[in-house]
Amino acid sequence: MNTVAVTDASFETDVLQSSQPVLVDFWAEWCGPCKQIAPALEQIAGELGGALTVAKVNIEESPTTPSRYGVRGIPTMMLFKDGEMKSMKVGAMPKQKILDWLAESGVSAA
């Protein structure tokens, strides 16, 4: 499973109404650290595809959602479960740190 591009228009359906946890990556094309973590997020999307959706919100193309959730710096990753933001991390992290954070939040490979 690949990452899913989410916009302001699709956020409610793709993230808040999702039946499984959603890791949302708020990013921008010009952000170096965002590009740095992109391959790890793609791998995580493949490895945890049955247990987690990895969504990417481009803050330039969809500015309303990041502003609603108080995104101040990017990359910002938020974990949503049952329509609520449960946990947040700001800044680039190695893949294993992201996996550890997800496991602490109750998300791991099925």
Catalytic site positions: 31, 34
Give the C-alpha separation, 12 to 55, whole Å.
12
CA distances from 6 to 24, 65, 109 (A): 9, 10, 23
* CA-to-CA separations, 75 to 19, 20, 22, 27, 109, in angstroms, rounded: 25, 22, 16, 5, 23
